[in-house]
Structure 1
Amino acid sequence: MDTSSNVLPSELVRGANYPAFYEAVMTKMEALFEKLLDQIQPPVTAIIVDIELLWAVPTGRRRNIPVASLFTPSASVFHHLF
């Protein structure tokens, strides 16, 4: 199976070119995730994902797997609320 190292820029490059890393996560990780779902035994019965990964909900729908999409802001977001 392909690994994320074949799809995502390495840790050494991510910081220098975050836009390329973000684009890879948004466009290339879906296919890798689908392959992983095909191989996991017993089959996946739920997906929990960060809301930023827009492809996760349609993937779950296609496979009839419930998806919990969570918003995980950093603590600094809450500082501005109070």
Structure 2
Amino acid sequence: MSANHRTARPRKILFLLIYLALTGVFSFAYYLQYYRHLDCFNELGRCYDPDIGFVYTESGMVWGVVAAVFASLAGLSVWRLRRR
């Protein structure tokens, strides 16, 4: 077993954990900025929260796209770890 092979697996596991953590963070941001207010958006793509005086926009769905990218990277990492 070469030295490169011994360091490759822990590095892959580290990247997998990073991808999973980022998936969780961006999924939570997606939930807070978009999904929680899904039924509130009007035809202009805005939702006003009178309790805190904040306007949410449909651009919050971008966090879901970023979360999906990191989830895909995590899935790819799992596939690469199992392939060996």
| TM-score normalised according to structure 2 size | 0.33
- Structure number with greater CO (CA < 8 Å, separation at least 6) is 2
Relative to total residues, which structure has the larger helix share, 1 or 2? 2
**TM-score normalised according to structure 1 size:** 0.33
Structure showing greater radius of gyration is 2
